[in-house]
Structures are given as structure tokens and as C-alpha cells.
């Protein structure tokens, strides 16, 4: 399925819930969010049917996100449904890791192929502060569980914030030397609550790369490990893992974007930074055919802009947990 700029769109990111068990400062308000009425959230059958319709127009890759996807009841059943679709060749999950270790085996058995963990600090108190109560030990335990189950590649997503965790860049990069982990340093994006964080705290990816090379040696550009994201990947000479950079603000990668997003309330979003959203929930609930649903998906793809509109701190956008970024 191609958009009007001839980009091949074969990747669907799905927010299965806008709720989360953490309150990360750049993502969610401290007091949490207003509860979305239960009936407004897509049920598992509706999500599965939307995915099935998307396969008719070329979607092959699925990522489940949130909020925190592992708080969604029945998530392993959904994974099993998706993994049984022959057209899907990649099924991944993004999680904060708090609940992962206890569910890991069940998720692998259901058909999960790989996992990304969000981890912004290796310091217990600092991690607890940025997440407003998170347990770093549980995340590290989750990473080990994923490695033992061979859910590869195991990726670590680190949002860098000047004055908060920029002094941990080398330590986090070191993880790629010690273990087969794929570290991705992500530029702080001015979405929702992160707007208050972004001013003066933004660190461009090139600066991070320079710090790593100054302390750990030359980074050699390599082909990216399995996945569908926009990261540029590198490898230190003695490393078993890789280091990636996602320069969402300093370097537009929109010309290679291959994704579409489905929100937990049934909105199709062609771009993370776009407020344009097409409702597919109504069609799902009136019993629309797979063909009709696939046509709605195509119409959303045709609304995909040539590039995102965020250029730096201050952009007004929906909250990240509502989009499944």
C-alpha cells in the first residue's frame, strides 16, 4: 500500500490502551488521565478485525503499544490472534517492562517475536523520579527475561533529557558492549506533557553520538537489526549489541516513514504529529466488511503528510499515551 508520496506503508502501530501503571514526566500527567468510557475503547476482537483488514492492503508488521499494553486484560490472546494471521511477518511490543517478566513466557508462547523496553535511567532513584514511582529492578529483570527467551532483537528506548540523564549516556551505551542489546537514544519530542520538559532540555542525536565516540571509540554504521523504526544504527568494535539514534526533531526521516497508527479508541492516525484522524470504530461496530474497513485504512494512508510539522519545543499536540507513540 503506497501513499500519495509513493512511500510503502506496511507497518501498523496499535495503542491497546491509553492507561499506564507509570506516570513518566514527559508522557503523562502526575494524577493520571481521565478515564475513557469502557465502550469507547476497541475490544480485542475489533482490534484483530482492524488488523485483518489492514493485511488486505499490505500491512505486514504490527507493534502493540499503550499507554502500557501489558495492563490490557487478554493481551496474550490478542497476540495469539495476530500471530495466527499468515500475512503478518513481524509482531512486536513496546513496554515499560514493569509487568513483563511475569508474563514473558506466556507472551512468547502466544507468538510475540520481539520487544522494546523504555528505560531512561540506570540509577534507581532517578528512574523512580522520572517515572513517578517505577521500580528499576523489575525493568532490568524484564530485559534479562527477554534475552533468555530469545525475543530478539531486544531493544532499549532511552529518551535523553539535558540536565537529567545526559550524564548516563556512556553508561547506557555500554550495555551494548556487555549484552546483545540494541540501545536507541531518542530525541525528546515536544508532545503533550513533554512540552514543559522540552525547553532547554533537548539534546540533538549528533551530540549524543559525539559523546559516545569520545568516551568509547568509533561508532561504525551498520544495517539496522530487525525492526521497522527510523533509527540509524552503529556498532562499537568490541560490542555484541548496537547503538541507534532516533533524531525525530533534528533530522526529519519522514521520507522513509512506513507506518500508520491506530489509537485505543479506534482512530487511524497517518502521522504521530498530525491531529488528522479517521474513525474506524464506527465501521467496525456496524459490521462493515473487511473490504470496507480496508478502504477506510487506505483513505487514512492517503492523508499522510509529506513530513511532520514539529520543529522543536512548543508544538501543540495530543498526549503521547493517547497516540501510542
The secondary structure of 229-258 as a DSSP string is S--EEEEETT-SSEEEEE-TTTS--GGG--
pTM across the whole model: 0.92
**Burial of residue 173 (number of CB atoms within 10 Å: 0-12, 13-18, 19+):** buried
Residue 43's pLDDT is: 98
Tell me: the pLDDT tens digits for 9-50?
A: 999 999 999 999 999 888 887 776 777 899 999 999 999 999
With cell 491531529, the residue in question is: 275
Domains in the chain: ranges and CATH: 11-323 (3.20.20.70)
Instruction: State the cell numbers at 307.
Output: 513530513
Collapsing DSSP to helix, strand or coil, 34 comes out as coil
Tell me: the pLDDT tens digits for 249-289?
A: 887 678 889 999 999 999 999 998 777 899 999 999 999 99
Amino acid at each position: 500500500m503506497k501513499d500519495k508520496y509513493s512511500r510503502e506503508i506496511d507497518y501498523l502501530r496499535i495503542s491497546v490502551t491509553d492507561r499506564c501503571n507509570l506516570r513518566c514526566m514527559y508522557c503523562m500527567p502526575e494524577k493520571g488521565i481521565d478515564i475513557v468510557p469502557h465502550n469507547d475503547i476497541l475490544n480485542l476482537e475489533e482490534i484483530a478485525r482492524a488488523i485483518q483488514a489492514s493485511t488486505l492492503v499490505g500491512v505486514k508488521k504490527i507493534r502493540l503499544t499503550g499507554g502500557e499494553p501489558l495492563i490490557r486484560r487478554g493481551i496474550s490472546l490478542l497476540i495469539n490472534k495476530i500471530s495466527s494471521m499468515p500475512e503478518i511477518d513481524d509482531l512486536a511490543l513496546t513496554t515499560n517492562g514493569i509487568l513483563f517478566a511475569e508474563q514473558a513466557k506466556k507472551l512468547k508462547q502466544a507468538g510475540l517475536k520481539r520487544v522494546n523496553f523504555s528505560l531512561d535511567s540506570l540509577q534507581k532513584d532517578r528512574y523512580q523520579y522520572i517515572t513517578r514511582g517505577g521500580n528499576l529492578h523489575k525493568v532490568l529483570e524484564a530485559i534479562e527475561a527477554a534475552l533468555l527467551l530469545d525475543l530478539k532483537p531486544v531493544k532499549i528506548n532511552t529518551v535523553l533529557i539535558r540536565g537529567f540523564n545526559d550524564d548516563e549516556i556512556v553508561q547506557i551505551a555500554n550495555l551494548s558492549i556487555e549484552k546483545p542489546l540494541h540501545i536507541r537514544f531518542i530525541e525528546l519530542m515536544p508532545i503533550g506533557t513533554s512540552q514543559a520538559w522540552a525547553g532547554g532540555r533537548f539534546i540533538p542525536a549528533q551530540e549524543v553520538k559525539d559523546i559516545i565516540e569520545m568516551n568509547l571509540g568509533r561508532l561504525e554504521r551498520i544495517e539496522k537489526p530487525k525492526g521497522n523504526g527510523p533509527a540509524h544504527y552503529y556498532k562499537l568494535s568490541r560490542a555484541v549489541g548496537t547503538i541507534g539514534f532516533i533524531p525525530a526533531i533534528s533530522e526529519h526521516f519522514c521520507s522513509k516513514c512506513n507506518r500508520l497508527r491506530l489509537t485505543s479508541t479506534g482512530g487511524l492516525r497517518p502521522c504521530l504529529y498530525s491531529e488528522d484522524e479517521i474513525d474506524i470504530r464506527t465501521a467496525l461496530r456496524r459490521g462493515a466488511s473487511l473490504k470496507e474497513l480496508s478502504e477506510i485504512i487506505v483513505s487514512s494512508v492517503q492523508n499522510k503528510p509529506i513530513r511532520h510539522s514539529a520543529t522543536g519545543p512548543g508544538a501543540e499536540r495530543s498526549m503521547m499515551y493517547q497516540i501510542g507513540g
